[in-house]
């Protein structure tokens, strides 16, 4: 009788601890991006020349799932920064302005609404290429891991930098962007298969004890 009760209780234990029970609703969270520097200057023309062109990095807060800017529910694709190219004047020699491993750093602060806990992840990259008032040939290279994660409260957040869209020529004023994808899941509970094995072990131990009791 005792053995039957133990075996019957194992499936109930598995259902109670199943991590999918906490995934029925979308998880609310908020975010804020930052950029350092906010203006990436072109290579200087010489030791006594001020930069005359560059790229402006404007943090974005675009909500995919609705609601106020900077707030999302569940997984979301968001804009990290918008990119705008500018020139103050053409180069005296008529050549394009150049960017050679021009560095920048992005930060995103995530806040888990349920626990009100926050954490920040940092990404870095460089720009290479050239720029005139009417043309843009800029490439972006990430120098840090493009995918990073952190745990806030009972949720794990995975942030992945995804798409780079170069800005348009300064004369047109079209903005480019660096985008990100954020996924959020409950912190993993023990796998069901692990619980099954544990339950079988408990049942076997109880059965072995009963056998010892009944042996003459």
Sheet holding 76-87, edge to edge: 39-41, 53-59, 76-87, 176-186, 155-165, 147-152
pLDDT of residue 29: 96
> Does an H or E element contain 208, and which?
helix 192-214
- Extract the tokens encoding 107: 């930060």
Query: For each of the chain's 216 residues, which pLDDT tens digit applies?
Result: 544 444 434 443 443 344 443 444 689 999 999 999 989 988 876 565 555 567 887 655 333 333 334 899 999 999 999 999 888 777 777 788 899 999 999 999 999 999 999 999 999 999 999 988 899 999 999 999 999 999 999 999 999 999 999 999 988 888 899 999 999 999 975 545 444 444 555 444 444 554 555 445
Backbone angles phi, psi at 187, to 5 degrees: -60, 135
Q: Where do the structural domains in the chain lie, given as residue ranges?
A: 27-200
> CA nearest 199: which of 2, 8, 1?
8
pLDDT at 92: 72
Strands 97-112 and 76-87: unpaired
Q: Which helix (H) or strand (E) holds 13?
A: helix 2-16
Per-residue pLDDT at 12? 36
pTM as predicted:
0.71
């Amino acid at each position: 009788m005792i053995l039957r009760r133990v075996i019957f209780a194992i499936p109930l234990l598995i259902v109670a601890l199943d991590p999918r029970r906490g995934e029925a609703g979308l998880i609310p969270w908020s975010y804020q991006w930052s950029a350092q520097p906010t203006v990436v200057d072109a290579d200087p023309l010489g030791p006594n020349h001020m930069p005359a062109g560059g790229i402006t990095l404007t943090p974005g807060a675009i909500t995919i799932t609705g609601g106020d800017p900077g707030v999302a529910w569940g997984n979301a694709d968001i804009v990290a920064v918008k990119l705008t190219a500018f020139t103050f004047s053409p180069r005296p020699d008529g050549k394009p302005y150049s960017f050679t491993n021009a560095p920048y750093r992005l930060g995103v602060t995530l806040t888990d609404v349920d626990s009100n806990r926050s954490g920040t992840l940092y990404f870095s990259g460089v720009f290479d290429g050239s720029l005139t008032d009417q043309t843009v040939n800029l490439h972006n290279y990430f120098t840090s891991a493009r995918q990073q994660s952190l745990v806030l409260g009972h949720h794990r957040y995975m942030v992945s930098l995804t798409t780079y869209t170069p800005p348009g020529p300064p004369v047109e004023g079209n903005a480019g962007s660096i985008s990100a994808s954020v996924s959020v899941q409950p912190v993993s509970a023990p796998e069901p298969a692990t619980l099954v094995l544990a339950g079988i072990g408990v049942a076997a131990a109880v059965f072995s004890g009963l056998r010892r009791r009944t042996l003459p």
